[in-house]
């Protein structure tokens, strides 16, 4: 619809609605995604079979490259078209709605892992320990005693026992408890991104750049501490992916959260560079808003993690 004028696209219901031009991006993104997962599948199978990973690594990287390049071009096109004023208010409402629903889908993704954690803690471990309705399962490993965190696995010849858990050390050790610091950092970053948003709405660009930059920094610090924590768990606590259900749930939940923080930090960093380039208007900055909603979402997930994975 190249012949739709800017005025027409903006005036809402009575004029032609803006339908975006054809784009090469979707089909390339599909190809990149498929190549990436095909490479990943080969890579994982090669690793498991102890065979050469050269080819599969190349496939994975090529797939990732195609996907990343395509997404970069796709987002650039969207931004360019937005600067040309092509999308009308209705399309912008569609963006907002779809971001809400996307975040809801992410909530459900984490819900699956939290559900698994609750099920294991509420039923599986007590049953294996001989308590409750299905306590008869204790006959599999009669020496297993139910407790959470599980420090001694039912069969520790298959799954090595973790030496220690990440549980709350009590108020005495609170100051040296890394997850507490991470909680403070992430909660603070939710406030800083909100301040940045307010500054943007008031058209105060310097403040926007300052507070958004601070948010990105906090995200990076969080990730750094998370890596520190993992290194500590692996090298000193003996807590690994292979150390039974406690390690499994711990690393899967915190790991996927960390992956989402990485994505969120990346998104905010992109927004920071865009802000430097003078993008965004006080009344039109969906890209920024979407990234900040996403950031608040990963923050909320962290609070749940802190409560149910670390504290209780």
Annotate 114-130 with b (16+ C-beta within 10 A) or e (fewer).
Answer: bebbeebbeebbbbbbb
Smallest separation, CB 118 to another protein (Å):
11
Q: Please, which residue, 214 or 304, has the CB nearer to another protein?
A: 304
| Three-state SS at 284 | strand
Smallest separation, CB 134 to another protein (Å):
6
Report how far Cα 281 is from the mean position of its chain's Cα atoms.
27
Cβ neighbours, 10 Å, residue 96: 12
Sequence-separated (6 or more) residues with CB below 8 Å from residue 150: 125, 162, 244, 245, 246
How many Å apart are CA 231 and CA 221, to the nearest integer?
15
Q: Please, which residue, 140 or 311, has the CB nearer to another protein?
A: 140
Smallest separation, CB 205 to another protein (Å):
30
Q: Please, which residue, 141 or 168, has the CB nearer to another protein?
A: 141
Q: Record the tokens describing residue 151, joined without a space.
A: 């420090």
Phi, psi of 234 (to 5 degrees): -70, -45
**Cβ atoms of residues 165 and 149 within 8 Å:** yes
Smallest separation, CB 18 to another protein (Å):
9
Q: Rounded to 5 degrees, what angle do the CA atoms 43, 47, 50 make?
A: 135
Q: Please, which residue, 106 or 284, has the CB nearer to another protein?
A: 106
Q: Please, which residue, 66 or 193, has the CB nearer to another protein?
A: 66
DSSP-H helix ranges across the chain:
6-10, 25-49, 54-83, 89-119, 125-128, 178-201, 205-232, 244-276, 286-305
Q: Please, which residue, 211 or 251, has the CB nearer to another protein?
A: 251
Q: Please, which residue, 115 or 282, has the CB nearer to another protein?
A: 115
Smallest separation, CB 192 to another protein (Å):
29
Smallest separation, CB 225 to another protein (Å):
22
Phi, psi of 281 (to 5 degrees): -125, 155
Smallest separation, CB 76 to another protein (Å):
13
């Amino acid at each position: 619809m190249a012949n739709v004028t800017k005025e027409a696209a903006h005036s809402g219901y009575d004029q032609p609605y803006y339908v975006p031009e054809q784009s090469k991006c979707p089909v390339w993104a599909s190809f990149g995604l498929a190549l990436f997962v095909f490479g990943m599948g080969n890579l994982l199978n090669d690793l498991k079979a102890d065979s050469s990973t050269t080819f599969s690594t190349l496939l994975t990287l090529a797939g990732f490259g195609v996907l990343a390049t395509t997404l970069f071009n796709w987002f650039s096109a969207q931004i360019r078209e937005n600067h040309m004023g092509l999308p009308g208010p209705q399309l912008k409402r569609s963006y907002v709605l779809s971001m809400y629903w996307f975040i809801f889908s992410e909530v459900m993704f984490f819900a699956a892992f939290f559900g698994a954690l609750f099920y294991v803690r509420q039923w599986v471990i007590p049953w294996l320990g001989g308590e409750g309705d299905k306590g008869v399962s204790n006959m599999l490993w009669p020496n297993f005693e139910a407790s959470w965190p599980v420090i001694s696995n039912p069969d520790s010849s298959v799954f090595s026992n973790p030496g220690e858990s990440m549980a709350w050390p009590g108020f005495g050790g609170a100051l040296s408890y890394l997850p507490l610091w991470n909680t403070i950092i992430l909660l603070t970053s939710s406030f800083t991104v909100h301040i940045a948003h307010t500054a943007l709405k008031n058209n105060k660009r310097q403040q926007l750049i300052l507070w958004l930059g601070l948010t990105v920094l906090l995200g990076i610090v969080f990730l750094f501490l998370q890596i520190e924590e993992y290194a500590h768990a692996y090298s000193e606590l003996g807590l690994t992916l292979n150390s039974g259900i406690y390690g499994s749930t711990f690393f899967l939940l915190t790991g996927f959260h960390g992956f989402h923080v990485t994505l969120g930090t990346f998104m905010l960093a992109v927004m920071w560079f865009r802000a430097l380039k003078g993008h965004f208007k006080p009344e039109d900055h969906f890209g920024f808003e979407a990234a900040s909603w996403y950031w608040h979402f990963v923050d909320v997930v962290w609070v749940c993690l802190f409560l149910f994975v670390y504290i209780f």
